Amino acid sequence: MAHSAVSTTNSPAIAPISLSALAPWAVFVGILMLVLLYFVGAEQGATAVFEGETIHEWLHDGRHLLGFPCH
């Protein structure tokens, strides 16, 4: 009979993560995703925040990969 190297009888209980502990991280990730979506999808268009073509050139291939038109 094979023996397991991992003991299953003394495994610690995993505490659930509360919604109040998860909410700030969810808001942070949501805002971060919206900023990223803006820079990939809209920057250097009608609503440009920065002057020049620098951000457009850095994100150009990502725009095409995600299906955003840019020319």
How confident is the model over 43-65, as pLDDT tens digits?
Answer: 776 677 777 778 778 888 888 88
Q: Considering the domain boundaries, does residue 26 fall inside one?
A: yes
Q: Are 40 and 63 in contact (CB under 8 A)?
A: yes
Q: Residue 4 pLDDT more than 80?
A: no
Cα separation, 67 vs 41, in Å, equals 9
Q: Considering the domain boundaries, does residue 37 fall inside one?
A: yes
> What is the mean predicted confidence (pLDDT) over 2-6?
65
| pLDDT, tens digit, 9 for 90 and up, residues 17-33 | 899 999 999 999 999 99
Q: Considering the domain boundaries, does residue 63 fall inside one?
A: no
Q: Which two tokens stand for residue 37?
A: 């979506």
Q: Residue 37 pLDDT more than 80?
A: yes
Counting the structural domains of the chain, the total is 1
Q: Considering the domain boundaries, does residue 53 fall inside one?
A: no
- Domain span holding position 37: 20-47
Judge residue 68's burial from the number of C-beta atoms within 10 Å of its C-beta, 0-12 exposed, 13-18 middle, 19 or more buried: middle
The pLDDT, as a whole number, for residue 56 is 77
What's the predicted TM-score (pTM) here? 0.61
Cα separation, 22 vs 17, in Å, equals 7
